[in-house]
Amino acid sequence: MVLLVDSPRAPRASRPGRPGVAVLVVAAALLLGACGSGGTTTIATPDATGFTPKAGSVPASAPGDTAAPAPGSSVPGTVTTLGKPTLTDASTISTVGLDKVHFGMTVAEAEQAAGSKLVADGGKTGSCYLAKPESGPDGVAFLISDGRIERVDISAGPIATRSGAKVGSTNAQIKTTYPGQVQDAARPDGQPGGALVYVPKDATDAQFRLVFLTDGTAVQSYRAGRVPQVLAATGCK
């Protein structure tokens, strides 16, 4: 620091009762000491910002703060929005799924695609069960195995395949719709009638099937999905 001895106001700096240079030096030292300390400062994010931390990424709380949620639990303030339901009577079945809900999706992914929660039909037991959309057309059930969508069953309603096959279609109509690609088989559930199994020609669809369950004359229900679940009586092991 340079002392201006030729300044006529210099002597006044040492008068009692007025802040001196020493006070400023001490304040500066305290400030520098605080900046150089190893302590950390937790800055809370205001709710108005809309920021929502991901589950499991919330830092440990400081004393007096609200405790961080346990791993896997929901974060306070998090709202899951599924949007508008996408499944309607006009939805169509393909070898890969029902509209935007595709086989192989997780339950969360399928719910986002459907715009609806999937509710276990008759209660969830184990890792394999049927679930129906909470919002959507009647007669639709998804088979979930080990947390993923494996097949979709259509038992009623107007929902058809992309080629127009649906409940009520005759055996002859199914075979005409898919010429040379339909195999006759016994019903896997042991009921009278038969099963018409559509086998895709495309190698990329080799693990997918459409299975039409008939009373011997017309389709009573049908399903699409991945092998082996789509060919099994219940789909669950």
> Over its length of 237 residues, how does the chain's per-residue pLDDT go in tens digits?
444 434 434 444 444 445 444 443 334 444 444 444 444 333 232 332 222 333 333 333 333 333 333 433 333 433 468 889 999 999 999 999 999 999 999 999 999 999 999 999 876 668 999 999 999 999 999 999 999 999 999 999 899 999 999 999 999 999 999 999 999 999 999 999 999 999 999 999 999 999 999 999 999 999 999 999 999 998 886
Least Cα distance to 29 among 21, 19, 40 occurs for 21
- What pLDDT score was predicted for residue 81? 82
- What pLDDT score was predicted for residue 123? 67
Handedness of CA 91, 114, 100, 129 (dihedral sign): negative
The upper half-sphere exposure of residue 27, i.e. CA atoms within 13 Å in the direction of its Cβ, equals: 6
Contacts of 76 (CB under 8 A, 6+ apart): 66, 69
- What pLDDT score was predicted for residue 237? 67
Q: What pTM does this model have?
A: 0.66
Q: What is the DSSP string of the chain?
A: ----TT-TTGGGGGSTTS--HHHHHHHHHHHHHHHTS------PPPGGG---PPTT-PPPPPTTSPPPPPTTSPPTT------S----TT-EEETTEETTEETT-BHHHHHHHHTS-EEETT---TTEEEEEESSS-TTEEEEEETTEEEEEEE-SSS-EETTS--TT-BHHHHHHHSTT-EEEE--TT--SSEEEEE--SSGGGTTEEEEEEESSSBEEEEEEEETTGGGSSSS--
Contacts of 127 (CB under 8 A, 6+ apart): 145, 146, 147
Return d(Cα 221, Cα 214) in angstroms, integer.
7
Task: Put the strands of the sheet holding 92-94 in their side by side order.
Answer: 101-102, 97-98, 92-94, 160-161
Burial of 82 (0-12, 13-18, 19+ CB in 10 A): middle
- What pLDDT score was predicted for residue 203? 92
